Structure formats: C-alpha cells, structure tokens
Structure 1
Amino acid sequence: MSVDAPADCVFPWLAQMGPDPRGGAYTYDWIENLLGLHMHSADHVLEEFQHPRLGESIEFGGNRLILQHVDPPHALAWRSADGNWLWSFTIRDDGPGRTRLISRNRYRLPRTIDRIGMAPMEPASLVMDQKMLRQIAVRAEQLAARRSATDGSPGDGTSA
C-alpha cells in the first residue's frame, strides 16, 4: 500500500495495534468483535503503546502473539506463541514524504483440519488486510498533515 506520509507517521499505528485497550486493527471492527476479538480501531495515537519492546505479547483471538522484531519506524513482527503464525509489517521509503506499507502473514498449519479451515479464511483475510492497510494509510496521512500544519514542515521528514 502506498502511503503519502513518512515512515514515522505510519509506524505509530502499527505500534499500537491489538485488542482493547490497544488501538485495534483498523479493519471492520464489527466483524472482529463478532469473533470476540475486542477490537476498537483508534483514530488517534495512543502514547502508552508507542515504545514496543521485544517479548511483549497480546491476545488475538485464540492466539497469543509475541513481538519478535521491532525496528522503528521501519518494521514490526509478531509471532504466535505456538510458532505457527508470523505477522510482519515493513515500511519502506518510497520518495520524499512517501512510504510503502507491506503486511505479510505466514502460517504453518500442521493438521489437515487446520488447512481445510484456512481455505475459506484466505479470501476473508485478504479483504480484512486491504481494509487495514487503507485505514492505516488514511491515519498516517492525517498525522503527517497535522504535523506539517503544526511545525510548518512539508510533512515528509525534511525541513522547510
């Protein structure tokens, strides 16, 4: 997903992702909450979650996700406690004031029943992922615009 904002305006939204009291997943909260995930997508930066540390964990449905990699403002990756799911985000510079936000999910499904169950989840996951990326982009672009208006900079990490 292309984002018209620098990495330091994108990363805060990733850093705070997770179920309540964290910032949600920026998808369709009503669907996530039907599944009991307790998601409430924040529209502002939650300062208390802006310094992620390796080993932190969040409950995500039936999974406990543990923070495996943090490289602010360019990367963040969570791994399920059982090691069967890796969810990573990469933010790449894409010109002045622009970034490319990439989300990747990798699953190891050792049981046949899990592989069968994942088949209908793949298209749904794609829809949810697209919504998440779009909503993070909107929030990052709004944050960049607010920073630009406040400090007079072009909002691209360079000075005016």
Structure 2
Amino acid sequence: MPKAKWLTILGSLVGVSAVYMTVIRPRHMRWGATQQEIDRPMLGDELVNKPTYVTTRAITIDARPEDVWPWLVQMGEHRGGFYSYDLIDRLLGIKVHSAHRILPRFQHLDEGDALDLKGNMIVRKIEAGRALVIGPGKSVEHIDSTWSIALHPLGSTRTRLVSRVRPRFDLKSARALLLLLVLDIGQIIMEQKWLHEIKSHAEGTYELWPPESAPTLH
C-alpha cells in the first residue's frame, strides 16, 4: 500500500480516536447523571482504591424505590436475568432469560451471594431497598471492580436509579487496551439497555424499549 494511503488511514484513525476521547466518551461516562450524582459518594466506592476510571450513569423512573427494588434484587443468571441484551449475555456464556415479572423466590440477597453460576459476580455490599454493590469473585484475575447501584426517591412517586462502575486494572499489561475497549464500548451498550429495562419493567412499559436484537448508543 502506498505510503500516502497509510498516512491517510492513520490520520483518520487518530481523528476518530480524538473525537471519541474528547466528545463521545465523556458524554457516555456520565450518561443521564447529574453533577450532584457524579460527585455524591456511593456505597462500595471504598472497595476499589485508585480506579482506572469511573462511570456514573442514571435514569428517572416513574415508580417508587420500593417498586423498583424487586427488579434489582432478583437479578442473576440463575434468578431473574440481568435485564440487558440477553443474547449478548448468552454469547458470553451466561445462561439468562430476563424475567418480565417479579419472582417472589428471588427477593433476598446477602453479602457473598453469587449472581452467576461460575461465581464471577458476587454481592459485595447490600442495603435492602436502597443500594446494591456487585464485584468480581476471587477467581477473576487482572481486574478489580465494583458496580454500585442506588435508588434515590424523587418526590413521592418517582426514583433516580444511579449506577456507578469503578474498575481498576494495570494499564501497562498486555490485555489493557483490549480490556479498555471492551469495558468502554461494551459497558455503555449493556448498561444503557439495563437502565431502560429496569425503568420499563418497574413502570410496566417494558414492551416500549427496543428489542435486544438491536443494540444502539444514544
């Protein structure tokens, strides 16, 4: 390939990367969240020191916290599913089919409970009805992380669902670039879907959100 063409391709890649890092990524890192929610400490923040990066995302739900919590507490591979793109989860080896109703037998979690059959997702902390913190099990290597979920009442009939992810991994490792790309892009796709699914299930309007066959970024 001629040198000029290589330089054109390289310049295009640099340009696209610059736009992503300076415009798109900052927006996705705080999708839906207010500055107050970004600045507010969350349960589980103390579990990962010096995270590689932090995302805080949120959505308003037209339902009370006590009506949202049952959908969160029943999450899991062998429970109510993860309310994201089930097809992608299954391709990753997680056997799920997200439930469209509250499952009474899965309305309790304790610290240390596993949310997947391999024990890779563990309940690190929980405040019933208010907050849930999920992190990797002991078998997961090369990364520590917390996924903190919190419910904040908004008036008497609405809720703010806030989600924060704080991963820490070695940026100098051979896997760092791949891991960063997977987490950066994969996380926003899956988490945005999850926020909308929890919202629509709690509101009883889940049919209105696009089907799992068409992941998009907004």
Measured in 2, the distance between the counterparts of 1:58 and 1:35 equals: 15
CA apart distance, 1:63 = 5.8
The residue type equivalent to 1:113 in the other structure is: A
Alpha-carbon RMSD across the aligned residues, in angstroms, is 1.9
Q: Which residue of 2 aligns with 1:48?
A: 105
1:88 correspondence with 2:152:
no
Alignment of 1:119 onto 2:184: no
- Structure with greater strand share of residues: 1
Whole-angstrom distance in 2 between the partners of 1:51 and 1:85: 23
AA of the residue aligned to 1:95: G
Instruction: Encode CA deviations 1:40-85: one digit per residue, 9 max, x unaligned.
Output: 111011111101112211337x762221211121101112124712
Q: Which residue identity lines up with residue 194 of structure 2 in the other structure?
A: M
* Partner AA of 1:114 in structure 2: R
- In structure 1, the residue corresponding to 2:132 is in which secondary structure? strand
Q: Which runs of 5+ in 1 are unaligned?
A: 144-160
Tell me which moved more, 3-12 or 82-91: 82-91
**Offset at residue 114 of structure 1 (A):** 3.4
Q: Tell me the equivalent position of 2:157.
A: 97
Report the equivalent of 2:195. 133
User: Take 1:39 and 1:96, find their aligned partners in 2: how far apart are those partners?
Assistant: 33
Match of 1:7 in 2: 65
Given residue 46 of structure 1, which amino acid in structure 2 is its aligned partner?
A: L
Deviation at 1:8, TM superposition (A): 0.8
Of all paired residues, the percent bearing the same amino acid is 34
CA distance in 2, matches of 1:74, 1:36: 30
Distance 2:180 2:126 in 1: 30
TM-score between the two structures when normalised by the length of structure 2? 0.60
Q: Which amino acid aligns with 2:154?
A: D
Amino acid in the other structure paired with 2:166: R
TM-score (norm 1): 0.80
CA offset digits 1:7-65 (Å, max 9, x no partner): 0111111101111x2111111111111111112111011111101112211337x7622
Query: Looking at both structures, which has the greater relative contact order when contacts are Cα pairs under 8 Å and sequence separation is at least 6?
Result: 1
Which string of whole-angstrom CA distances, capped at 9 and with x for unpartnered residues, describes residues 121-147 of structure 1?
A: 11221011010010100111129xxxx
Tell me by how many angstroms 1:119 deviates: 2.5
Deviation, 1:95, is: 1.1
Q: Which runs of 5+ in 2 are unaligned?
A: 1-58, 206-218
8 Å Cα contact 2:125/2:132 also seen in 1: yes
Instruction: Give the aligned length.
Output: 141
Alpha-carbon separation, structure 2, partners of 1:63 and 1:87: 15
Residue-by-residue CA offset, 1:82-130 (whole Å, 9 max, x unaligned): 4712111000011121000011111111361332122321122101101
